[in-house]
Structure 1
Amino acid sequence: MILQTFLIGLVALIGYSEYFLTGASMIFRPIALAPLVGIVMGDIPGAIKVGAAMELAYLGVVEVGISTPQDMVSASVLGTTFALTTGKGISAALTFGLPLSMLILIIQNVMYIFVAPLYVTKMDEYAKNGEDHKLSMIAFWGGTAVNFLPSVIFIMLAFYFGSGFSKQLINMVPQFVQDGLVVASGLLPAFGFALLIQQMLRKDIVPYMILGFVLTAYLKIPIIGIALLGLVIVMILYYNETKLKKQLELFGGGIEDDDEHF
């Protein structure tokens, strides 16, 4: 159990590496972290199914500007853990993972407000004295320890003490809220897709969206077939655009030659 708890903490740390090591790799998403949890729990197929369902539910959860959604790492790790241990799937993942992720978000904000300024002050001192090595070390390790280690420790404790510890926290959430989370699991995927489409919706893209819907809903073409068809369309558009650019360059060059001739 102790080894498993340590490995769960390592999975959480891998998820948080999105913010201090790997960059925008999307490794903190449920679709990436759930299989790692499945390896630790010994149920990879079940974890992949839960991760895919959670990814759909959290598809619209993105950090835009100053908006701060729930902590995705804890929601992914703990949600998958409790979904596998309770056998209730996505319902347990949302019921347990979502409130706990909000609690961890509060912990992170407390660290940002009260603890982070302490090492930031030390960073200013190192910068003033030109001690760049110390500045880099405290910026990386200090920021990592202050911002993410408390979250990793909390995730490990929640896993170690199991559903009993988590249920005590969940009991603080009204029952109607928990029921609403279960119902929302069926609505969140559509909401997430709507948010994404709103960002990318353009007049020249709408026909392809309608085409994809028709192929899926009426012609019953599998997703792989539609993806291959989309690849063909992209290749045709790319080659036609490249050919058009070459023709325009030749035509433009001819105009320049005529101007020089006159």
Structure 2
Amino acid sequence: MFVNAVLVGLVAVFCMLDSRLLGRLNFEQPLVGATLVGIVLGDPATGLAVGAATELVSMGLVSVGAAVPPDMVLGGIVASAFACLTGASAETAMTIAIPVAVLGQLLGIVFRSIIAALTHVADAAIEDGRFRAAYSMHIVAGTILYSLMYFIPVFVAVFVGTDIVQAVVDLIPEWLSNGLNVSSKILTAYGLALLLSLMIKKGMTIFLLLGFLLASYLGLSVIAVSALGVILALILMDLKFGKGDGAALATADPDYDPLEDDDE
């Protein structure tokens, strides 16, 4: 069991390094992480099944701004190991994935706070001209902290058993869980506001309000609102560049560029 725990922990670290050192190769996905665990433990089919189930859950969890959603990658890895080692079904493993993901969310908040403090240390080192120390804070220390954040809980969960993970989650006070949930929603709204402040233009505000009204008062899903947005965009493009003045001007002047000349 010790060897299995180490191997699964290393898989978790590898998936974590994807978006931090390797670029974005999509190894840090529940489907990929759980499948890799299945391959390491000799049961890729079970790993793939658990990964698919956790991936479906994670599709509704989006990290926006400073908001930290439940870590379904961590949950999927532990759940996959649990299913592969005990022969449990993917449905049973999902009962483990959610608590572990919540625990990963809490660990993520703690470790990000620590790394934020290291950023100030790196800033001070840069001001003093100690660039090697700043490099160590940014690359070495951050990578080690994130690696420990993934390796330790995965190793403990696999080596000792998933019951201890559930016990740790149950020890979290209700007031703390509620506070974290409320703060995560506030941070999500704040993150969206930051993104909109960079992306939205004066003429696009009406479309934002339209999408909000469709989702809030008509109860349409995100997919439905997105589909309506695509249809509306196609209609507006046809009106502007299809049969409108743009097409007539393009016929009269072969050098006419609607993307440039319409703004003049």
Query: Is this a same-fold pair by TM over 0.5?
Result: yes
Query: Structure 1 residues 90, 57: closer, same or farther in 2, change over 3 A?
Result: farther
Residues 252, 89 of structure 1: alpha-carbon distance in 2 compared, 3 angstrom cutoff:
farther
Per-residue deviation at 1:49? 1.8
Distance 2:2 2:41 in 1: 13
Partner of 2:164: 165
CA distance in 2, matches of 1:96, 1:166: 8
**Distance in 2, Cα, partners of 1:248 & 1:86:** 71
Question: CA 1:89 to 1:59, structure 2 compared with 1: closer, same or farther past 3 Å?
Answer: farther
Distance 1:110 1:123 in 2: 19
Name the structure 1 match of 2:138: 139
For residue 6 of structure 1, give the secondary structure of its aligned residue in structure 2.
helix
Give the superposition deviation at 1:160: 0.9
Partner of 2:118: 119
Q: Give how far 1:72 is off.
A: 2.4
Identity of aligned residues (%): 26
Structure 1 residue matching 2:18: 3-state secondary structure: helix
The Cα shift of 1:167 comes to 5.1
Q: In the TM superposition, what is the alpha-carbon distance from 1:12 to its structure 2 partner?
A: 0.4
- C-alpha distance in 1, partners of 2:70/2:155? 18
Shift of 1:80: 1.2
Provide the rounded CA distance (Å) in 2 between the counterparts of 1:251 and 1:156: 71
1:253 aligns with 2:249: no
Distance 1:29 1:162, change over 3 A: same
Which segments of structure 1 move beyond 6 Å, counting only runs of 4 or more? Answer: 247-250
| C-alpha displacement of 1:251 | 5.4
CA distance in structure 1 between the aligned counterparts of 2:115 and 2:230, rounded to whole angstroms: 47
Q: Quick one: structure 1 residues 154 and 248, their matched pair in 2 at CA, closer, same or farther if it must change by over 3 Å?
A: farther
C-alpha RMSD over aligned residues: 3.3
> Kindly tell me: are residues 204 and 160 of structure 1, through their superposed partners in 2, closer, same or farther at Cα, counting changes over 3 Å?
same
Q: Which amino acid counterpart does residue 135 of structure 1 have in structure 2?
A: A
Is residue 63 of structure 1 aligned with residue 49 of structure 2?
A: no
1:125-204 correspondence to structure 2 within 5 Å: 125-166=124-165, 168-169=167-168, 197=223, 200-204=226-230
Deviations 1:69-128 (A, max 9, x none): 101221110121123334332332321121122112212322333x33553332122110
**How far did residue 48 of structure 1 move?**
1.2
Tell whether 2:74 aligns with 1:80. no
CA distances 1:163-199 after superposition (whole Å, capped 9, x unpaired): 44345446669xxxxxxxxxxxxxxxxxxxx865257
Question: Which blocks of at least 5 consecutive residues in structure 1 are unaligned?
Answer: 174-193, 207-240, 242-246, 257-262
Determine if contact 1:78/1:155 at 8 Å carries over to the other structure.
Answer: yes
